[in-house]
Structure 1
Amino acid sequence: MLDGIKKQLEKVKTTNNVKTVTLAVAKLEQKMVGMQRTVAQQIDNSLAIKNEIKNADISNKRMIPELNQKLKEMIEEMTRIRQKQNELERKLSTRNQENEQNFLAQINGFEQQIGLYDVRIADMDQRFQVLETTSYSGVALWKINNFQRRKREAESGRALSIYSQPFYTSRYGYKMCARVYLNGDGMGKGTHVSLFFVLMKGEYDNLLPWPFRQKVTLMLLDQGLERRHLSDMFRPDPTSSSFTKPTSDMNIASGCPLFVAHNLIEGSSYVKDDVIFIRIHVDTTDLETF
């Protein structure tokens, strides 16, 4: 009788091990399918962006083959992982108790590899977003998600400021971005959102007039029906180092430390679905284009 009970317990243990391995394989399969869809979407994005920026600046052109190469490498590696996974599934059909733990260890190893690819995909997603949102008209529309969390991070000192994506006055013009301090900077610290304009080092700076003299308008967009946008405008001080030809990646930011008070936007239609929109407009009417 004891022998019979032992056999039943062993059968239950084996069944549980089999279920564990089967669930692990199914989980891995779901991750693989999700990653394949993401990579396929990025391939489509890459082709679309390549067509859109045939005449774009050199730095963006250089990014396309680099991203394509990374996508190709990831597809090849995922194919190898898929082959290993299929091999595991074949072994699973002739499994025994001794090798089930080995299966789980191999599956855990594959999950770690997939985790690394998730990080690489996130990095490429960010690069694609930069390419897709690049403006060459002197106007940038900046969407800032997770406003409340980012504001708390600014208050705690974890992330004092955020930079926008770069934008340009033309395809061969000035390179620029915006910088926002959601908990304020300088005179606005703790009471205001501070918004600044930043000149960046560009590919065609040697062809452009310096110092930078274009009028800049900074705007917080009202997402409500009344569209009471808040804006401030300034003309660059030609004696300021913020507007000379950049010698490093970017110049010192210049703008509005008292751009908008916290109590004016909290609970208002300037923040909707935890999102704010900032618009930066650089006057390009008197600029020479190449």
Structure 2
Amino acid sequence: MALVPRRRQGPSKFQQAADGSMTLIDHIRELRNRLFVASLGLLVGLIVGFILSKWVFHLLEEPYCRLPSSISVRADGKKYCDFVVLGVGDGLIIRLKIALWVGVIVGAPVWLYQLWAFIAPGLHRHERKWAYIFVTIAAPLFATGAVLAYEVVGHSLSFIMSAGVLGEPTKLEVGSYLNFVSSMLLLFGGAFEFPLVLLMLNFTGVVTARRLLSWWRIVIFLCFAFAAIATPDPGPFGMTLLASCMILLYLIAVGIGFINDKRKGRGREIYADIDDDEISPLEDDRVPVGAADPIAAPSPLDAPTPVHKPLPLEGRFDDMT
């Protein structure tokens, strides 16, 4: 049995994009294909989100349904959580919004991979390695912040409604309530990405961990200021909880920065122990300037090569040109 030689494959698209051999048209074609695949992932996620939308809505309405004022009784005596609905199509629009949110999360592995596969060839190997690490850390941090926001909303909603001019909790409009909850989830999730910014500054060599630790007063003030603005509860519970979590994450990021600085040998430079305002000494190492070396006379240039006489006009071109 004769062995068929294996056909030698050419470089992959990743290698072509990394070494710069891919043309502009190939880049545009690759972007089109990756956008199409990402759209398919979002479409599948949207379908899954539409199926799970009622379950997600019941999960989001739980803090509101804990309030006694949100419970109503049907004619048959069964209790249910009651919202105020102002528009005819509000229920369907809210379900589509929830389906879109869930679809973005469910389809994240697809569209994030397509985005990464398009931009990764332009990065160095160590940049791709750190991007993997930061993305792996960012997802659980955002999820932790969202869970904390859910708990804060559950504890603060009763106080917010009873502290108003009406003096007691009332029924809420379903659209405004979901916008409020989703905004809190995004704010808390984004706040938990704060240590990643500090780690990026440290790992790229912009600031050292010692410099980050010297900013602790400013960081604590900014954490409490952000928590006071972001949390809906005017009381100290939500603000203190969010600010404490951000400060804890800041200290963890500084600790990781110290480990990274020790690994890279930062802080052992020649000017590490010198104050920033101290003037560096200048050594007086004057060297006397002597006479310059003599310049040799220029050598004559060779005569130019004679130019041949051009061919006649009818002999320069063929029948096509």
TM-score range, shorter chain: under 0.3
Provide the TM-score with structure 2 as the length reference. Answer: 0.19
Q: Look at both structures and tell me which one has the larger radius of gyration over its CA atoms.
A: 2
Provide the TM-score with structure 1 as the length reference. Answer: 0.20
- 1 or 2, which has the higher strand percentage? 1
- 1 or 2, which has the higher helix percentage? 2
